[in-house]
Amino acid sequence: MNEKFYSLKKEKQDKMINGAMQIFARYGYRHASTDEMVRVCGVSKGLWFHYFENKPGLYSFVASYGLKYAMLELSMHQIKNGTDYFSVRYSIEECKMVMMEKYPYLPLFLYSILREEDPDVSELIKEPRQKYAEALSKIMLQADYSALRDHEDYLLLTDMLDYTIEALMNDSYRSPVFAPERYLMEVKKHLSAMEKLL
């Protein structure tokens, strides 16, 4: 089924992917309406169902696509400025900002996928979602945890950072225009605060 889609012009593919990402990311699976996707990307209603059997099919495609694309970008992204935990964690967020050039709503969409619990799709996206989580973990595991390692149960600390960063991301998208630099600055501030603690 997806081969058909891939034989479209890349430009149109991305127009549709961006339209779906935006609506899914902002409203969640169930609340995203096909009419709104038509509105934001100008591709006719029938075409969505021509390429994707139904709404779950569309969601699972776009989610898988987005997760894979994110993993690709992550794998290509050079980690600069040191390999300690905090630098690596920050570097991932920098990488997300790069993704935005092609798929502006992808960073928000990635979080919404991880939180999506609608029974119609949660099973469908289980696997790519998990792989993405593992890819992130893998990158993080390559980091230098010397600053944290001494603490028994230090995973809780890293979880806290993850939650904080997610909240900052959500706030950023809520503002009229997403400003990547401002977002990155906020992330850095919070990471440093934690770093100082240890």
Partner DNA sequence: AATGAATGAGCTTTCATTCAT
Partner DNA sequence: GATGAATGAAAGCTCATTCAT
Tell me how many helices (H) and strands (E) the chain has. Answer: 10, 0
**Stretch of residues binding DNA (CB under 7 A), selected from 42-50, 79-87, 158-166, 184-192:** 42-50
Q: C-alpha 23: how far from its chain's center?
A: 14
Q: Which is nearer to a copy of itself, 29 or 61 (CB)?
A: 29
CB of 86 to a copy of itself, least distance (A): 13
For residue 39, give both structure tokens.
Answer: 């509105």
Q: Does 31 bind a copy of itself (CB under 8 A)?
A: yes
Taking CB under 7 A as the criterion, the residue among 20, 25, 55, 129 binding DNA is 55
State the binding string over 78-107 for a copy of itself (x if CB under 8 A, else -).
------------------------------
Judged by CB under 8 A, the chain residues 108 through 167 that form the site for a copy of itself are 117, 151-154, 156-157, 159-161, 163-164, 167
Contact flags string 148-187 toward DNA, x per CB under 7 A: ----------------------------------------
Task: Assess 40 for contact with DNA (CB under 7 A).
Answer: no
What residues does 144 pair with on adjacent strands? 84
Cα distances from 22 to residues 113, 155, 166, in angstroms, run: 12, 32, 17
Query: How far apart (Å, rounded) are the C-alpha atoms in residues 187 and 196?
Result: 14
> Residue 69 in contact with residue 103, Cβ under 8 Å?
yes
The answer to whether the CB of 131 falls within 8 A of the CB of 71 is yes
Q: How far is the CB of 128 from DNA (least distance, A)?
A: 20
Residues touching DNA, count (CB under 7 A)? 23
Q: In 3-state terms, what secondary structure has residue 144? A: strand
Give the torsion through C-alpha atoms of 139, 114, 70, 184, to 10 deg: -80
Note the residues at the interface with DNA (CB under 7 A).
Answer: 4, 7-8, 12, 32-36, 42-51, 53-56
